[in-house]
Amino acid sequence: MSCDAAVPARLRGSANLALVGADVDVPLVTGGWRRYVNLDYAASAPCLSSVSEAVEALLPWYSSVHRGAGYKSQLATAAYEGAREAVHSFVGARHDDTVVFTRNTTDAINLVAAALPADASVFAYGAEHHANLLPWRRRRVSYLPVPDSPEHALASLELALATAGGDHLLVAVTGASNVTGEIWPYAEIAQVAHRYGARVLLDAAQLAPHRIIDMAAEDIDYLALSGHKLYAPFGAGALIGRPDWLAAGEPFLAGGGAVRYVGLDSVLWADLPDRQEAGSPNLVGAVTLGVACRTLQATDRDALVAAETELLEFATVRLAAIPGLEQYRMWSAEHPRIGVLPFNLGRLPYAQLAAVLSAEYGIGVRHGCFCAHPLMVALLGIDPDVDAGLYANLSKGDTVAMPGAVRLSMGLGTGRADIAALVEAVETVATDGPGWRYQSSADGADCWPDPDPRPRPSLPFELR
Ligand SMILES: Cc1ncc(COP(=O)(O)O)c(C=O)c1O
């Protein structure tokens, strides 16, 4: 962790919030090494030290979950169920909410989509991550426009629900945008939804690492999150929520562990959560997710929010001063955001800017459309005819120039020095251009240094 990290002064040095790999140096194409500046937390966050220590402690005891009388199996099962309680507590779930361990947020949302009553209608905003747009096509879905203000989001939902018929309605909304960081008015959305008898699913993939969530108080019916965005990158996520829809009908996955009894033409499904957790569970993933939840819960999260907000302001102001740099957001500059900021630099292709930052400055950011094509089309102001043409040409198999941007995103280990390093790098690129040669894919979505003399570290596994 850098010395002036986003972790506030009185929490700094807390072993609990240390991150594995925070001081790793990476090679530059221009020669030399530099501490890796990780500004890509929104894609996948590094592992908390407390989580890594938990893995070390768990592995000697590793054994089957819910499947053995052996001492280690019993202990593994207790650890797995302890993790379930930790996740339940972390999101402020109601007493009778179920916690199902999944692979990630995508898996959790697909599980809800599969469990929806057959006549259900879903309402989702066009600004959602693809994980919260596409699974609903399993049922009837209406997409609401990308709203130009939080008030517009509420008004368009109200309008849609007022004319919606049916007994089973669901509103799916993100907690915080993975593209702009803006925090959605999800508690108000839940109020509107409930007034019309609709339930609410909160995609908390981005919100959960940055804000306290209280499902009970905020009246959220379902919540999906990913461990790898929550400092526990061991392949588990979770779905938390009301049990009735999840306990009805066929489970999302059929198989061992999800049943009470099976005949060749009959099956008695198990109760929740087992019913929705067929197959051998991911013990390490679940336990580490639980440890990450407990670690975050034990910190002063308001102080973390204050520190991150200050850093985001610093980044916003400094980047805005760079000629030709454009930042994107849906709503007013004052609207609360998590530490996520998308931008482009003049006519420099976004993929090349990301490649330059990595190759010449050791800075990791994400680029592209961030799995949110409709939102990016709106943010970049792409004309609907151009958008339709893009789709038509792509579906014919033509190569088209893909729109996109660069995104910086922050987390527990981000400090002022990291943001300053990014700003200085972008300033240099803005005035001098790239200092190396690069090649790009035909659609512009990828770019890489050519040649790339950076050595690879020696690791005890194969690198392609
Ligand atoms: C807002 C949001 N929702 C859903 C997802 C999907 O998460 P996962 O890839 O962990 O399933 C992401 C991932 O970036 C996200 O940012």
185 and 261, same domain (yes or no) = yes
Distance CA 66, CA 77 (A): 6
> Residue 369 catalytic?
no
Tell whether ligand 1 has an atom less than 6 A from the beta carbon of residue 206: yes
For residue 425, being part of any structural domain is answered with yes
pTM across the whole model: 0.97
Distance from Cα 70 to the centre of ligand 1, integer Å? 37
For position 117, which CATH number holds? 3.40.640.10
For residue 463, being part of any structural domain is answered with no
For residue 187, being part of any structural domain is answered with yes
237 and 357, same domain (yes or no) = no
Left if phi > 0, otherwise alpha if psi is -120 to 50, otherwise beta: which for 231? left
270 and 130, same domain (yes or no) = yes
201 and 163, same domain (yes or no) = yes
If pLDDT is split at 50, 70 and 90, which confidence band does 138 have? confident
For residue 281, being part of any structural domain is answered with yes
Token pair belonging to 237: 């996520």
Structural domain harbouring 123? 52-297
Tell whether ligand 1 has an atom less than 6 A from the beta carbon of residue 205: yes
Distance from Cα 178 to the centre of ligand 1, integer Å? 8
Q: For the segment 250-278, what is each residue's pLDDT rounded down to a tens digit?
A: 999 999 999 999 999 999 999 999 999 99
For residue 462, being part of any structural domain is answered with no
Token pair belonging to 317: 């102001």
Residues 6+ apart with CB under 8 A from 33: 25, 26, 27, 362
Residues 6+ apart with CB under 8 A from 272: 98, 100, 243, 246, 247
Tell whether ligand 1 has an atom less than 6 A from the beta carbon of residue 98: no
Most informative mutation of 101, 178, 282 for ligand 1 (most atoms within 8 A of CB): 178
Most informative mutation of 41, 106, 213, 340 for ligand 1 (most atoms within 8 A of CB): 106
Q: For the segment 117-131, what is each residue's pLDDT rounded down to a tens digit?
A: 999 999 999 999 999
Q: For the segment 180-237, what is each residue's pLDDT rounded down to a tens digit?
A: 999 999 999 999 999 999 999 999 999 999 999 999 999 999 999 999 999 999 999 9
Distance CA 125, CA 201 (A): 12
For residue 458, being part of any structural domain is answered with no
Please report, rounded to a whole number, the percentage of residues in the chain having pLDDT higher than 90: 95
Bridge-based pairing of strands 266-269 and 169-174 is: unpaired
119 and 210, same domain (yes or no) = yes
154 and 223, same domain (yes or no) = yes
293 and 307, same domain (yes or no) = no
When divided into structural domains, the chain yields a total of: 2
- Does 9 score more than 90 pLDDT? no
288 and 383, same domain (yes or no) = no
**CB-count burial class (<10 Å; 0-12, 13-18, 19+) for 327:** middle
Cβ distance 319 to 423 under 8 Å?
Answer: yes
Distance from Cα 412 to the centre of ligand 1, integer Å? 18
Tell whether ligand 1 has an atom less than 6 A from the beta carbon of residue 110: no
Q: Which residue has a Cα nearest atom 14 of ligand 1?
A: 43
Distance from Cα 343 to the centre of ligand 1, integer Å? 20
Domain boundary among 265, 297, 329: 297
For residue 5, being part of any structural domain is answered with no
Residue 455: other Cβ atoms inside 10 A: 7
If pLDDT is split at 50, 70 and 90, which confidence band does 14 have? low
Q: For the segment 27-38, what is each residue's pLDDT rounded down to a tens digit?
A: 999 999 999 999
For position 433, which CATH number holds? 3.90.1150.10
Distance CA 156, CA 129 (A): 19
Where is 169: in which H helix or E strand?
A: strand 169-174
For residue 6, being part of any structural domain is answered with no
37 and 120, same domain (yes or no) = no
Q: How many residues appear in the chain? A: 464
213 and 280, same domain (yes or no) = yes
Tell whether ligand 1 has an atom less than 6 A from the beta carbon of residue 102: no
pLDDT of residue 67: 85
Place of tokens 């938990």: 54
Domain boundary among 297, 319, 343: 297
Most informative mutation of 109, 129, 213 for ligand 1 (most atoms within 8 A of CB): 129
Tell whether ligand 1 has an atom less than 6 A from the beta carbon of residue 104: yes
Tell whether ligand 1 has an atom less than 6 A from the beta carbon of residue 174: yes
Distance from Cα 428 to the centre of ligand 1, integer Å? 32
Partners of 261 in beta bridges: 268
Distance from Cα 129 to the centre of ligand 1, integer Å? 7
Nearest atom in ligand 1 to 371's CA = 14
Domain boundary among 297, 315, 337: 297
41 and 24, same domain (yes or no) = yes
Distance from Cα 446 to the centre of ligand 1, integer Å? 21
Distance from Cα 105 to the centre of ligand 1, integer Å? 6
315 and 349, same domain (yes or no) = yes
- Catalytic residue, chosen from 47, 293, 369, 371, is 371
CA dist list (Å): 187 to 40, 169, 192, 220, 287: 27, 17, 9, 7, 29
Nearest atom in ligand 1 to 108's CA = 11
Tell whether ligand 1 has an atom less than 6 A from the beta carbon of residue 409: no
Distance CA 306, CA 173 (A): 25
What is the arithmetic mean of pLDDT over 93-107? 98
Tell whether ligand 1 has an atom less than 6 A from the beta carbon of residue 204: no
